[in-house]
Structure 1
Amino acid sequence: MDCKDILSQVKRIHFVGIGGSGMCPIAEILHHKGYELTGSDTNESDTLQRIRSYQIPVTMGHKPENVGSAELVVYTAAVKQDNPELVAAHEKGIPTVERSEMLGMVTKRYPNTVAVSGTHGKTTTTALITQIFVNAGIDPSAIIGGKLPFIGGNGRVGKSDTIVCEACEYVDTFLHLHPAISVILNVDADHLDYFKNLDNIIKSFRQFAMQTSQLLVINGDDVNSRKAVEGLTHAQILTFGLDAQNDYYAVNLADTKQACEKFTVMKRGEKLCDVNLSIPGKHNIYNALAAVATADYLGVAPACIAESLHQFTGVHRRFEVLGNFGGVTVADDFAHHPTELTATLTAAMNMGYRQVWAVFQPHTYSRTSMLLDDFAKALSIPDHAVLSEILAVREVNTYNIYAKDLAEKVPGCVWFPTFEEIAEYVMAHAQEKDLILTLGGGDVYKCANLIVRKYQEKGL
């Protein structure tokens, strides 16, 4: 069977790990296109409830019989090749494809695929563009890496030929995509366990840009992004940034209460619209400008763009405020790279809190080891830094790196092996008008939820 156009040859598809944030929206789209789906997972979640609401059968646990009469099996990247369902599929001769390959197959069916790439900001910018498009009546489908409250989930099935999705660079998964429009937000040193060096990352982004047919929306202030598209002429290039040399740029920047940003968007010297963001941080000016350039290119009215940007209140785990307890604000953020930590913690320090308590869960041994000094610099920004153990994810600690190694490089930093100990420590020290901010790409949100629960139990 030809895997390149397998969707036109099958009807019944089984998803291994169907509740994953990247799997659920793909399953929704295929369900609405008439495919018969089944799925399995090991954890109950909101996304699983959403899947079940479509009457898609979901089995808890991975067992060979779950594959059933499927003609194709889709699996998430977290699933190992010895998974019993993948083994059963191989034994039965059923084709299997990884999620990113399926994303490529699905988006090929949309003539207007908008793919958002970059080392940082993909989820927020994909969500921004989706919200603008929905308000503009474009009726897009969408695949977002986090929950967007505006659409009630991290995916959307529209009736138009437009789809907005994230394009992740890790292990070159975005090279399965051939978009009409691509956004490159930034190109930074990350995933060095795979890419080895920054030059290889830039080469991958260049290949991604070459696979884009119509328009490249590029951060003109970012040297590496410009390098990735240098000399390319096959697609139109629009640039955005704070420098007036860009096609779209911001002027009249003004901090508002809670460090949200107000600015005027200029388009080649002419005023396009005034923007008043409801999300904090200067990094979000860049995310917003990328969304503005993309929407304006597609003919969305400037007033609709500005209103949608103001209306946008963020995505799950992107500076998500979980509550205020006895005057202490608790928030959670996905930042797990030094550049992201720097942006988020700088924003937090400018939001008027008495003191900021940053609780960080380092994510992967390779990233922590290779970027140790950069992490130390970022974690020196808040008033207090508290670390958990390093989350291994897919790795073995061949780097001989531990949380204490990072803690020793950050003045006043402490670390604890469990979330329980972290929660007790920060709650014993945080005072009225302080911010407790958990950060990381793993399960540190559980620590934030634990802190919230403990405050609630105290009646705060």
Structure 2
Amino acid sequence: MRKHIYLIGICGTAMASLAGMLKQQDHEVTGSDAAAYPPMSDLLRELGISVHEPYAERNLDRRPDLVIIGNAISRGNVELERVLDERIPFCSMASILHDEFLQGRESLVVAGTHGKTTTTSMLAWIYQIASVHDASLAPSFLIGGVAENFGTSFMVRPTKPFILEGDEYDTAFFDKGPKFLHYFPDAAILTHVEFDHADIYTDLEAVKTAFKRFVNLVPRRGRVVAFDGSENVTECVSKAFCKVERYGFQEGSHWRMTDLRHDGPLTQWTLWRGGERFAELSLPMAGEHNALNATAAAALASGQGVPVEAIVEALRTFHSVKRRLEVKAVAEGVTIIDDFAHHPTAIRETLRALRESHPGQRLIAVLEPRSNTLRRNVFEDALIESLALADRVVLAGVFKSENIPAAERLDPERVVHGLTERGIPATVYQDADAITAALAPEVRNGDIVAILSNGGFGGIYEKLPRAITEKAIASRMAERFA
């Protein structure tokens, strides 16, 4: 039966994708958010889904049949309060996903602190390539970003495989458990386990407990493909009831990588399975972390019956995910790159990948401390170490710093001090406009500017290249008429 379904917090990556899935089932879908920004705002616009900004009680005057509450929505939100007052039926994103889309399918879930989105996209593309010769492998998927090979973050098909990004963040204000506990995987990937989401997890032990519970959902007939380079991952899979296959660089791992080599943006390696050569793989992406992500996807797909030829071809033609090392602009020879990295480990791997793909070029890191973890001081020292891989660092002020107690808040000046002690020029500017004004005259032909944020960052992705171009034009005009 067709329903009017309303999503509060619709511009979140998973929520926007769910909105598209529901519309694909012929429901009327609308929603609201505090602020919309690409790529999800673009996706919703293309889908013809109406988005109300900002939150307001009147947005619910035309009472929906069902409201889906995003996990970023807390008590006090005016729309949530009206839903509760009027007892409008509501649920979480994860629960409707399980009830409406996963029943009777093969649930393949990618989980871990880092690499989930890219690995999920790779796995979906592997299945898509395989479906050319076996239509039953055509995947449904839900990804926390726009997969460039598909041009979308979701797909719903009548076939069995459903590939999901398993998020360890909480589900909703009324369900504080991780979303991935709703997905009941038939097989799973576990990439990394590190402390993150300091707003909901008290410490690393709490994070590990969540992942142990995730692993415990995999049935005996299932399989977990787990990274071999993390003691935390080893602990989390140690009591699995299903088969566990490790992947990475260690001798003895079921899926072992050797002869890893980089050639600009191209990465190549040999993959071994159970001590026998499985394939020579190539990936048009820089970074050891991306080769590891690809190996995990290859391992899971192979174990589910996907032919090796499809795996090799899919990785060779993989086009990444929006906001993962995405080139946003090239202005006057300056390359502006957008990356979603918002954890010290992810920042380190992103900068390492850029070093590998752009050797000899000056690397400038521009960071917005925006995530709930990065806005806190728990990672200050680790952040300094990660950012020290850049030649120049620019920090924005802490996003909505007033919401973080002063004693817990990240101190950007301390980060700058730590970097300058290591000989890395570093500066703090309050916002995107101040950063743009300071950086546009400073950059030069050949520079790589990596903008690191999990949000819109005040439109800096458009403002900076425009300012660089305008400065260059003004300089040429001044020279011409001097």
Structure 1 distance, partners of 2:6, 2:345, is 38
Q: 2:70 aligned with 1:76, yes or no? A: yes
Structure 2 distance, partners of 1:40, 1:418, is 26
Structure 2 distance, partners of 1:153, 1:33, is 16
Structure 1 distance, partners of 2:391, 2:319, is 26
User: Equivalent residue for 1:219?
Assistant: 227
Q: Deviations over 1:201-220 (max 9, x none)?
A: 11110001111222211112
Q: 2:434 aligned with 1:421, yes or no? A: yes
User: Equivalent residue for 2:253?
Assistant: 246
**How many angstroms does 1:323 deviate by?**
2.7
SS in 1 for 2:440: helix
User: Equivalent residue for 1:289?
Assistant: 295
Alignment of 1:44-443 (within 5 A): 47-48=40-41, 50-51=43-44, 56=49, 58-67=51-60, 68-137=62-131, 138-171=137-170, 172-213=178-219, 214-233=222-241, 235-258=242-265, 260-350=266-356, 351-364=358-371, 366-367=373-374, 368-392=376-400, 395-398=403-406, 399-411=408-420, 412-443=425-456
SS in 1 for 2:194: coil
Structure 2, unmatched stretches of 5+, are 132-136, 171-177, 474-482
Stretch moving more, 374-383 or 108-117: 108-117
User: Equivalent residue for 2:134?
Assistant: none
SS in 2 for 1:208: helix
Instruction: Tell whether the 8 Å contact from 1:357 to 1:426 is kept in structure 2 after alignment.
Output: no
Instruction: Tell whether the 8 Å contact from 2:141 to 2:155 is kept in structure 1 after alignment.
Output: yes
User: Equivalent residue for 1:31?
Assistant: 23
Structure 2 distance, partners of 1:364, 1:166, is 19
Structure 2 distance, partners of 1:32, 1:348, is 38
Structure 1, unmatched stretches of 5+, are 1-8
Structure 2 distance, partners of 1:145, 1:283, is 18
**How many angstroms does 1:224 deviate by?**
0.8
Amino acid at match of 1:195: Y
How well do the aligned residues superpose, as a CA RMSD in angstroms? 2.4
Q: Deviations over 1:132-185 (max 9, x none)?
A: 111111221211111112111211222212211111112323222211122110
In the alignment of these two chains, the number of paired residues is 450
**How many angstroms does 1:49 deviate by?**
5.6
User: Equivalent residue for 2:477?
Assistant: none
Amino acid at match of 2:293: N
Q: TM-score, normalised by structure 2?
A: 0.87
Instruction: Tell whether the 8 Å contact from 1:107 to 1:113 is kept in structure 2 after alignment.
Output: no
SS in 1 for 2:126: helix
Structure 2 distance, partners of 1:405, 1:255, is 35
SS in 2 for 1:151: coil
Q: TM-score, normalised by structure 1?
A: 0.90
Alignment of 1:434-453 (within 5 A): 434-444=447-457, 446-453=459-466
Structure 2 distance, partners of 1:160, 1:296, is 18
Shift of the 366–301 alpha-carbon distance from structure 1 to 2, 3 Å rule, reads closer
Structure 1 distance, partners of 2:71, 2:456, is 17
Amino acid at match of 1:418: D
Structure 2 distance, partners of 1:365, 1:237, is 32
Q: Deviations over 1:232-255 (max 9, x none)?
A: 22x222221111311112112111
Q: 2:10 aligned with 1:18, yes or no? A: yes
Stretch moving more, 113-122 or 363-372: 363-372
* Identity level (%): 26
Which consecutive aligned stretches of 4+ in structure 1 deviate over 6 angstroms post-superposition?
A: none
Shift of the 335–51 alpha-carbon distance from structure 1 to 2, 3 Å rule, reads closer
Shift of the 385–50 alpha-carbon distance from structure 1 to 2, 3 Å rule, reads closer
Q: Deviations over 1:3-40 (max 9, x none)?
A: xxxxxx99442222333321122122223334443333
**How many angstroms does 1:325 deviate by?**
2.2
Stretch moving more, 272-281 or 441-450: 441-450
Q: Deviations over 1:390-442 (max 9, x none)?
A: 12389423325421121111122111112122123222222222211111223
Shift of the 131–389 alpha-carbon distance from structure 1 to 2, 3 Å rule, reads same
**How many angstroms does 1:119 deviate by?**
0.4
Shift of the 441–405 alpha-carbon distance from structure 1 to 2, 3 Å rule, reads same
Instruction: Tell whether the 8 Å contact from 2:440 to 2:471 is kept in structure 1 after alignment.
Output: no
Structure 1 distance, partners of 2:323, 2:235, is 31
SS in 2 for 1:408: helix
Shift of the 372–293 alpha-carbon distance from structure 1 to 2, 3 Å rule, reads same
Amino acid at match of 1:294: L
**How many angstroms does 1:230 deviate by?**
0.4
